[in-house]
C-alpha cells in the first residue's frame, strides 16, 4: 500500500503533469510545423514540377539506394528548423528581450569624500584616508 501511495504522489507532482502537457503540445505543434513545411514551403523550393524526390534511386549489385528519400528528409529537416527558428525562436527571444526590465541599481553604500574624493561609507563621520570630518548621511 505504501508503494502505491508513493506512486500516486509521484504522478500528482507538478513536474510530471507539466512534462506531459509539454509533450502533448509539442506533438501538436510539431504536426502544425510539419504541415506548414510540407504544404507551403517545400513546393516553393522544389525543382519545377517535382516536389517529391523519393523516386530518385540508383542500383549497385542489385541493391537499390533510395537517395531521393534522404534528400526529402534533409530538405524537410532544414525547412522545419528554419520555420521553428524564424517563427518561434526569433519572436520569443524578441519578446523576452523587450520584457526584461533594466536592472534597478542597488542603493549606494558609499560616497565620495569632499576633500580627497576617496570612497567612504555613508555613515562615516570622518574620512579614513584624509581624516577630514564629514557629515554622515542617513
Which CATH number is 2-99 given? 1.10.1200.120
Query: Where residue 61 falls among pLDDT bands split at 50, 70, 90?
Result: very high
Distance (Å, whole) CA 100 – CA 98: 6
pLDDT value at 69 more than 90 = no
User: 3-class SS at 69?
Assistant: helix
Grid coordinates representing 72 are 526529402
- Spatial neighbors of 65 by CB under 8 A, at least 6 apart, are 57, 58, 59
Share of the chain above pLDDT 90, in %: 7
pTM as predicted: 0.50
Backbone phi, psi, residue 50, to 5°: -140, 100
Distance (Å, whole) CA 39 – CA 44: 9
Confidence at residue 42, expressed as pLDDT on a 0 to 100 scale:
73
CATH 1.10.1200.120 in the chain: give the residue spans: 2-99
Amino acid at each position: 500500500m505504501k508503494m502505491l501511495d508513493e506512486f500516486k504522489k509521484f504522478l500528482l507532482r507538478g513536474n510530471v503533469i507539466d512534462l506531459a502537457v509539454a509533450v502533448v503540445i509539442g506533438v501538436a505543434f510539431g504536426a502544425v510545423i510539419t504541415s506548414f513545411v510540407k504544404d507551403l514551403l517545400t513546393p516553393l523550393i522544389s525543382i519545377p514540377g517535382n516536389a517529391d524526390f523519393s523516386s530518385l534511386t540508383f542500383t549497385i549489385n542489385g541493391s537499390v539506394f533510395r537517395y531521393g528519400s534522404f534528400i526529402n528528409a534533409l530538405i524537410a529537416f532544414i525547412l522545419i528548423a528554419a520555420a521553428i527558428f524564424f517563427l518561434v525562436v526569433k519572436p520569443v527571444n524578441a519578446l523576452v528581450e523587450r520584457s526584461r526590465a533594466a536592472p534597478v541599481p542597488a542603493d549606494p553604500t558609499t560616497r565620495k569624500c569632499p576633500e580627497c574624493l576617496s570612497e567612504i561609507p555613508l555613515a562615516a563621520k570622518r574620512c579614513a584616508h584624509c581624516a577630514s570630518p564629514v557629515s554622515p548621511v542617513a
